Structure 1
Amino acid sequence: MEPTKRRDAVKLAGLAMAAPVAAAQILEQAAAEAMEFTRQAEATSLGSGTLDHLDLAITEFNRAYSLKPPRTVFDAVMDYRRKVDRLLKAPHTHRQERELLTFAGWLSELLAWLAHDLGDARAGLAFATDALVHGQEAGNGQLCAWAMDAAASINLYGHHPHKARLAVAKGLAEAPARHPLTVRLHAQAARAAAADGDAEGFTTAFHAAEDAHRSLPTCPPRRFGMDVMPLADYALTSYPATSFIWLGQAEEARQHAERALATYKAAPKASRSPSREAIARIDLAMAHALSGAPEDAVALGHQALDSTRVVDSVRHRASDLTSFLTRRYPRRPEVESLRDRLDALDADARRSPPAAGPGA
């Protein structure tokens, strides 16, 4: 910098005309202000163990997801989601903000699935979007990808395969490389293509899922202390079983549904999902129904409804089964018995209060 410009800069700073004593006072005041800046940067209303407590709570909620009634878990998770929202509005550090945003996103991702289980697609998609936004704000791509995995499933059950494919695309853009979630997302794309009647799109996406599965590391990352590999294995068996049913290919559907059931029976107890296992039984029942074996289909339908977790997605697929059986085999007593049982379960679900939305 030229001498003249340097002098001008010093004048602008207010020090050029100050006496040595005054300059010292200015610098002393600046030091005090610097300490205040630091204090404000570290100011927080969070207790020392708050973040550790939230991490433990979310871990426990994820473990409870498949073991406890969805209404009970939903209410508990929603309470924590509101608490995290209040913490985000209270004083906290920038580093804490990123962690709080991440916790908020994980809670909303779980709430998306729980709302889906309770039959409220609108709330489910709202929570999935909330998880995506908080994941983006926190810079957590994995959270964003899990949120879009939930959105894809909810859209599929809502008969919106095109929206499911869009959600998958967003998820794949954020998913970590060589992660079981990438397998799931490609399998979701395959299932959405089948729902759209796009056999070629199904084949392409399913091959991508298989390729992604082959490239997984020997010890894949865990999610909240749990092994997520079974979720990838399930996606490679149960998702194509459903897809082949939609594409009218009974034998392929049967083979994949049997593999899905075997996969779940072999999974560790903590990774098993009664509702997904029930859906695999319904897929197998549909394959038998398509092949002209209604007795086997009805028996498997009852086994599915015997599940300890008959959530909305299970009842939805069971309705597909009973509708098909009623059309193909009208007035058969065993078919009417299965349909009556499902009607009773649907009536019980309607008497339960709906899931509360994000603004509740």
Structure 2
Amino acid sequence: MSEPNELLRAARERTPSRLAPGEHMSRAELADTICAWLWDTTEIKYELDGHYIAKLERGAVRWPGAAYRSGLRHVLDVAADNELGFFPPSGASPIEPDSVPPSMVGHDDDLINAGDESIALLSFAEESNVGELTVEQLQADIERIAQSYLRTPTRPLFAKSRAIRDRAFGLLAGNQSPGQSRDLYSAAGWAITLLAWMSTDLGRPDIAEGHTRTAWACAEAADHDVLRGWIRATQHTAAFWQEDFSRAAAYAEDGLRYAAGTSRLFLASAASVDLARAGRPDKARELLDLARTLAVHPAESEPGGVLICTPERAEGLWADTHLAFGEAQRTADQADHSVALFEAAPYSLRNLGSERMARLQQAKARLLLGELDGALEAVEPVLQTQMEYRVRPLIQRLAEVAALTSPYARSPKGRMLRERIAEYIQRPGHLMSPHRRIVAPPQTTPQIHLVRRSREDQE
């Protein structure tokens, strides 16, 4: 007989009902609320009902599909599946560390086809001068995607961005005023920029670059500096994750000519990292100093989410710059402050991808300072990242943390840590349960995670 899922039931019963004041949420209300949220974020209709919630609470289903898990986390206000009693099934097949990242599984054809399509639209974007329709709904959809990214499954968000791109270009084939044409080009440019960002996260920065060339043509047609700034930020990111730091810096520095809103803060901060890694410390410090002087004033047209730079996101980048300078203590201080700001922000507004990167900067700094317990504490939340959100850059950063654990391989905790890393690479389907976490007694050692996406077995 299945063991009841008491964590899920307790989470539901402490969640206030939106229909009956003073009562907790019923199973049926929970299911309806999840379906409404999934429709709002993905425009896909799900058939979740109270009977399925009952199956989950009885423990008849121990690992619901990714969409249902994301909905449960959102409505019940938790950060991780294991807080709801969900752990991936055992028996995942081993993979090599260099194989496809978890969030990339099933996306390869989509990524390649979408990249080819954006490239094919380049000449149209450069030459076309027509279009029609108000783009308020397109802009609202873009904001929803940007703010939902790394919170809901990637595939429907990728498909929705692609649909917005195609819809905007379809409207541009009609007949409209020059102002309406600019609005449509802007919508298309933002949608393609999101496609490029997702393509980089899914392990194909080469395809992302094809998207950004067409996005740039759209920004030129729209004469939209905020969009130009974020396209340059996206091009920087694609080049950075190909370890072409000089080209990444060139994109970021060029973007500063156009940047408005918070893209200027992101570009100055990113350029400082690029230049430090490219061996140009004086220029890197100049850009770092510039970034520290910039106030954060979001532009009205910035979609938010991944396409906005908050102070905590910028400080995570500054920590990376200090790390490139070899300044371990300053890296630690900067990363600690970044993480503190993330934790102080409302959960619904936190950029979870950037927060995980800041925690890994904490871990690197602690390892360099000989503070293994601190490194373990920093890495632990990252190791609980849901499998569908473990993007390629996150895996790469975790591998970098793993490389810094070598000096501790002879200590008992060091050996345990390295075994855990090896196990995780070979069996990426396992989230660490609370019983398997590496708990640090007062000495030192860190830990890592490399992962593969689980099968979505929606029931």
Q: Please indicate the TM-score interval, normalised by the length of the shorter structure.
A: 0.7 to 0.9
Q: Cα distance, 1:343 vs. partner?
A: 5.0
Higher mean alpha-carbon deviation, 227-236 vs 339-348, is at 227-236
Question: Structure 2 matches for 1:5-24, cutoff 5 A?
Answer: none
TM-score, length of structure 1 as denominator length: 0.75
Structure 1 CA distance, aligned partners of 2:135 and 2:161?
16
Alignment partner of 1:275 is 2:353? yes
1:209 to 282, 286, 291: 291
Alignment partner of 1:287 is 2:365? yes
Is the contact made by 1:108 and 1:131 (CA closer than 8 Å) also made in structure 2? yes
Alignment partner of 1:73 is 2:177? no
| Paired AA for residue 170 in structure 1 | D
Is the contact made by 1:187 and 1:235 (CA closer than 8 Å) also made in structure 2? no
Alignment partner of 1:260 is 2:338? yes
**Corresponding position of 2:393:** 313
Structure 2 CA distance, aligned partners of 1:55 and 1:235?
24
**Corresponding position of 1:334:** 417
**Corresponding position of 1:17:** none
Structure 1, unaligned runs of 5 or more: 1-43, 353-360
> Taking structure 1 as reference, are residues 341 and 163 closer, same or farther at Cα in structure 2, changes over 3 Å only?
same
| Paired AA for residue 283 in structure 2 | G
Is the contact made by 1:241 and 1:252 (CA closer than 8 Å) also made in structure 2? yes
Is the contact made by 2:390 and 2:451 (CA closer than 8 Å) also made in structure 1? no
Is the contact made by 1:251 and 1:287 (CA closer than 8 Å) also made in structure 2? yes
Deviations 1:300-353 (A, max 9, x none): 32321212432222111001111221365367121230343245445625999x
Is the contact made by 1:315 and 1:342 (CA closer than 8 Å) also made in structure 2? no
Q: Cα distance, 1:229 vs. partner?
A: 11
Higher mean alpha-carbon deviation, 244-253 vs 220-229, is at 220-229
Q: Cα distance, 1:206 vs. partner?
A: 0.4
Alignment partner of 1:231 is 2:303? no
Q: What fraction of aligned residue pairs are identical, expressed as a percent?
A: 20
Higher mean alpha-carbon deviation, 75-84 vs 280-289, is at 75-84
Q: Cα distance, 1:276 vs. partner?
A: 1.2
Question: Structure 2 matches for 1:1-360, cutoff 5 A?
Answer: 46=132, 51-176=135-260, 179-213=261-295, 220-223=298-301, 226=304, 231-308=309-386, 309-326=389-406, 329=409, 332-345=415-428, 348-349=452-453
Deviations 1:12-34 (A, max 9, x none): xxxxxxxxxxxxxxxxxxxxxxx
TM-score, length of structure 2 as denominator length: 0.60
* SS, match of residue 370 in structure 2: coil
Structure 1 CA distance, aligned partners of 2:396 and 2:307?
26
Higher mean alpha-carbon deviation, 223-232 vs 107-116, is at 223-232
Structure 2 CA distance, aligned partners of 1:230 and 1:147?
12
> Taking structure 1 as reference, are residues 347 and 250 closer, same or farther at Cα in structure 2, changes over 3 Å only?
closer
* SS, match of residue 67 in structure 1: coil
| Paired AA for residue 195 in structure 1 | R
Number of aligned positions between the proteins: 301
Is the contact made by 2:205 and 2:242 (CA closer than 8 Å) also made in structure 1? yes
Structure 2, unaligned runs of 5 or more: 1-129, 429-449
Structure 2 CA distance, aligned partners of 1:349 and 1:95?
44
Higher mean alpha-carbon deviation, 334-343 vs 153-162, is at 334-343
Is the contact made by 2:359 and 2:382 (CA closer than 8 Å) also made in structure 1? yes
Structure 1 CA distance, aligned partners of 2:382 and 2:339?
11
Q: Relative contact order, CA 8 A, sep 6+: which one is greater?
A: 2
Deviations 1:222-266 (A, max 9, x none): 445759997241344101211222222211111011011011112
Structure 2 CA distance, aligned partners of 1:120 and 1:228?
18
Q: Cα distance, 1:289 vs. partner?
A: 1.0
| Paired AA for residue 364 in structure 2 | M
Q: By percentage of residues, which structure has more helix?
A: 1
